[in-house]
Amino acid sequence: QPNRFRFDFSSDKGMKVKQIAKVEGLVAKQVESKYEVYRTPTRIDDAKKINGLRAVFGEKYPDPVTVVSVGADVEQILKEPGNDKWANFSIEFCGGTHVKNSQEIENFVIVSESSIAAGIRRIEALTGPAASKSLKLGKEVKLAVESFDKYDDMVKISEAISIVDEKLAKKKAGDEEADELPYDVRDWLQQQREKMMAKRKKLHKAGGNQAKEASLDAVKELAEEIVKSESKFAVTKLDAQGNVSIMNAAITAFQKISPGVPFMCLSEVKAGGKMAAIAVVPKELTTKLSAKVWLSETLKQCGGKGGGKDFRAQGASKDSTNIVAAIEFARKMAEESLK
């Protein structure tokens, strides 16, 4: 294809970013040197004597064979084929070269390096206008993604990760119009993604600790009020981000202060999103109020469902839009059942 290049080579290991950059630099020098490209039919026995010749092992070549040389006249090469200096030039059999001078390549950008078989790897690169377009796109993408460093919000970081994933997605087969990023930019994007993932995990953990402390404080205060007012039950919404382990810790804290009181807690992952709920009822009161029935009927108000036993039940809903109505329902049901 015009403006596209691929090359297979033997190696058990993938190339490093520095090696990719070195190859691109070597090619850039060849392009800048404006070397003429020579194509000369040559007797195969004479051609095989050329120092530094590149050819495919095991391939059968015609006689005479076409020798392609970038920057060195084949006629001059054949006069002293063993000269060490020819190893510094690209000289090969039947190269399929599409340019008459190296400057026609304009730009060279490697966009992919991968394994295609055991011990065989392949690089794919762009040349000409396609390479220039790739370099321009790479600069624009890096500039945009660098601004994500300032994000300290879970939602924004998650959105940024999604954007990076879109940029990293490889073009679909046959989609020749899709732009491709330089290999080094793809590698940089992957590193940025890992950094953002780690940052999001750290924020999530910190947020979870804060939510746990807030939930425990709120529940302890509620339990003390229940003891003072001699209320027969308690239903509350916890700011626990729907985290069941935090909710369980809150229930334990509540029961230490007010052990004989039925308790239900509900918590949203985010407003209007998923919701979790847990209900506990002292065994001596389960004949009047079953935790399983209490929780299940409450979650129905939000289109959710739950299960468990008469003394402890747990459930969830995909939509917490009606959480206020659900809490009100749970209170009325408990009040009626415990008369």
What is the full per-residue pLDDT of the chain (339 aa) written as tens digits?
Answer: 668 888 888 899 999 999 999 999 999 999 999 999 898 899 989 988 999 888 776 778 888 888 999 999 999 999 999 999 999 888 888 766 678 899 999 999 999 999 999 999 999 999 999 999 999 999 999 998 998 888 877 668 878 888 888 888 765 444 554 568 999 999 999 999 998 888 877 776 766 677 778 788 888 998 999 889 989 999 999 888 788 888 999 999 999 999 999 999 999 887 668 899 999 999 999 999 999 999 999 999 999 999 999 999 999 998 888 999 999 999 999 999 998
pLDDT of residue 207: 63
Listed in sequence order, the residues at least 6 apart from 325 whose beta carbon sits closer than 8 Å to its beta carbon are: 301
Contacts of the segment 168-172: beta carbons below 8 A, 24+ positions apart: 168/193
Check: CB of residue 230 under 8 Å from CB of residue 195: no
Rounded Cα distance, 125 and 111, in Å: 5
pLDDT at 34: 93
Position 177 scores a pLDDT of: 46
The answer to whether the predicted template modeling score (pTM) of the entire model surpasses 0.75 is no
pLDDT at 170: 63
